[in-house]
């Protein structure tokens, strides 16, 4: 006799980690900043020379999209429409990978010149 019993447990499901940057993203960023010698990089170069975990073209594009949103990469114009290339932004940290992207607050904080008076809201 089959029955349609459902079981519930008193324990709450395990909490998800709040880490917003996957290890692949951190590996790619570390490799770009510390090991890639040129100032720009393309998807093909990431898939050929990059960390093994990001050598899939679609995954590489996903990760570079996140790095572009966090201002670690800046898109460059290319001569082919199926080629993607980025300028690597080295130097002071543009936006930490753990900070949420806020277009108003982040752009005001990063792009404000030190000599300009603070803006009033």
What per-residue string of b and e applies to 53-81 under the rule 16 or more CB within 10 Å gives b? ebeeeeebeebbebbeebbbbeeeeeeee
Q: Which residues pair with 88 in a beta bridge?
A: 73
pLDDT of residue 103: 40
* Domain edges within the chain: 23-92+100-105
pLDDT (tens digit, 9 = 90+) per residue, 21-42?
578 999 999 999 999 999 999 9
pLDDT (tens digit, 9 = 90+) per residue, 63-112?
999 999 999 999 999 999 999 999 999 877 666 666 555 443 333 344 44
pLDDT of residue 90: 86
Q: Which of 32, 26, 63, 29 is nearest to 45 (CA)?
A: 32
d(CA 77, CA 73): 13
CATH code of the domain occupying 23-92+100-105: 1.10.10
Indicate the pTM of the whole model. 0.62
């Amino acid at each position: 006799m089959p029955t349609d019993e459902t079981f519930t447990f008193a324990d709450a499901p395990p909490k998800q980690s709040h880490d917003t940057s996957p290890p692949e993203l951190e590996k790619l960023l570390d490799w770009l900043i510390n090991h890639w010698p040129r100032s720009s990089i393309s998807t093909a170069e990431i898939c050929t020379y990059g960390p093994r975990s990001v050598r899939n073209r679609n995954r590489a594009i996903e990760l570079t999209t996140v790095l572009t949103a966090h201002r670690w990469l800046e898109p460059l114009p290319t001569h082919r429409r199926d080629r993607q290339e980025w300028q690597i932004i080295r130097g002071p940290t543009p936006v930490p990978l753990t900070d949420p992207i806020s277009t108003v607050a982040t752009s005001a904080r990063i792009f404000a010149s030190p000599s300009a008076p603070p803006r009033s809201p």
